[in-house]
């Protein structure tokens, strides 16, 4: 059975997350229904990251095995046809070896969190960013974020429902920068804890509005205590932007 690697873009707003749910719509379920229509047999789709309810993707990666041996562009276009009217797009379909696994072969995941700091309500970007009605100090947020680099016990930024075996993770790159009225957090690691990025973002915003100093942020991280986490940022502004694999 030929295996295909899919690069996906989606609006997570209508879904209860990536993973198949018993009673709620999911991105995985929509893709599997589309792939089953294409292949004429049940298809299971495996994703690189289990994005939460409401979280978006610009570069999610998944793989599937088909009975039919089809050209890559045919797989892409047929899946997009059967996905209508879901806000999900297959950007690319690539034939890969059978030992490729979207989740277990990945060695880097990249996320973006978008914040707009203005008092006025959002219109065009509603549901796509987090609106914070106070001006943020992006430089202070960036300074605080650098304490995340390296390997740490991230219990402070770990959701109570997280099922990971250990709270220890390694952050390889992190940055906060302003682009006009938008503040963007970018962060990269091999893997993340449940709601880790949203927990980090909410605490960095505490720095941005002046409630915390960068030293306070570091103290919260070092405490390894979930009670020290700031408010968890909403899913609206979070995007899985890319997943890296060995050449």
pLDDT tens for each residue of the chain, 247 residues long: 899 999 999 999 999 999 999 899 999 999 999 999 999 999 999 999 999 999 999 999 999 999 999 999 999 999 999 999 999 999 999 999 999 999 999 999 999 999 999 999 999 999 999 999 999 999 999 999 999 999 999 999 999 888 889 999 999 999 999 999 999 999 999 999 999 999 999 999 999 999 999 999 999 999 999 999 999 999 999 999 999 999 8
Q: Whole-model pTM?
A: 0.95
> Would 239 be classed as within a structural domain?
yes
Q: What is the pLDDT of residue 12?
A: 97
Same domain, 121 and 230: yes
Catalytic one of 52, 172, 216, 236: 52
CA-closest candidate to residue 188, choices 139, 230, 115, 243? 243
Alpha helices in the chain (DSSP H): 27-39, 72-83, 138-145, 196-208, 214-223
Residues 240 and 139 in one domain: yes
Same domain, 90 and 112: no
To the query of whether residue 216 is one of the catalytic residues in this protein, the response is: no
**Cα distances (Å, whole numbers) of residue 173 to 90, 147, 232:** 27, 11, 21
Instruction: Look at residue 102 and tell me if it is in a domain.
Output: no
Residues 85, 117 share a domain: no
- Domain range for 118 is 108-244
- What are the respective helix, strand and coil percentages of the chain, to the nearest 5? 30, 30, 45
Q: Is residue 101 part of a domain?
A: no
Number of structural domains found in the chain: 2
SS3 80: helix
Answer yes or no: do 126 and 42 share one domain.
Answer: no
């Amino acid at each position: 059975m030929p295996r295909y690697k899919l690069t996906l873009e989606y609006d997570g707003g209508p879904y209860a997350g990536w993973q198949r749910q018993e009673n709620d719509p999911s991105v995985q379920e929509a893709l599997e229904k589309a792939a089953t229509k294409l292949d004429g047999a049940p298809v299971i789709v495996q994703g690189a990251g289990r994005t939460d309810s409401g979280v978006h993707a610009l570069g999610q990666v998944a793989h599937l095995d088909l009975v039919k041996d089809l050209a890559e562009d045919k797989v892409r276009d047929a899946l997009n046809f059967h996905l209508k009217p879901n806000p999900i797009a297959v950007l690319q379909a690539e034939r890969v070896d059978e030992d490729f696994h979207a989740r277990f072969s990945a060695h880097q995941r990249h996320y973006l969190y978008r914040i707009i700091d203005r008092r006025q309500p959002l219109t065009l970007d509603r549901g796509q960013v987090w609106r914070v009605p106070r001006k943020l100090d992006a430089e202070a947020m960036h300074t605080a974020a650098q304490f995340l680099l390296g390997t740490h016990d991230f219990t402070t930024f770990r959701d109570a429902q997280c099922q990971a075996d250990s709270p220890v993770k390694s952050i390889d790159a992190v940055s906060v920068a302003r682009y006009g009225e938008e503040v963007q957090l970018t962060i990269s690691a091999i893997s993340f804890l449940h709601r880790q990025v949203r927990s980090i973002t909410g605490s960095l915003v505490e720095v941005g509005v002046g409630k915390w100093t960068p030293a306070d942020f570091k103290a919260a991280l070092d405490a390894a205590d979930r009670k020290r986490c700031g408010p968890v940022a909403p899913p609206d502004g979070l995007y899985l932007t890319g997943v890296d694999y060995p050449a």
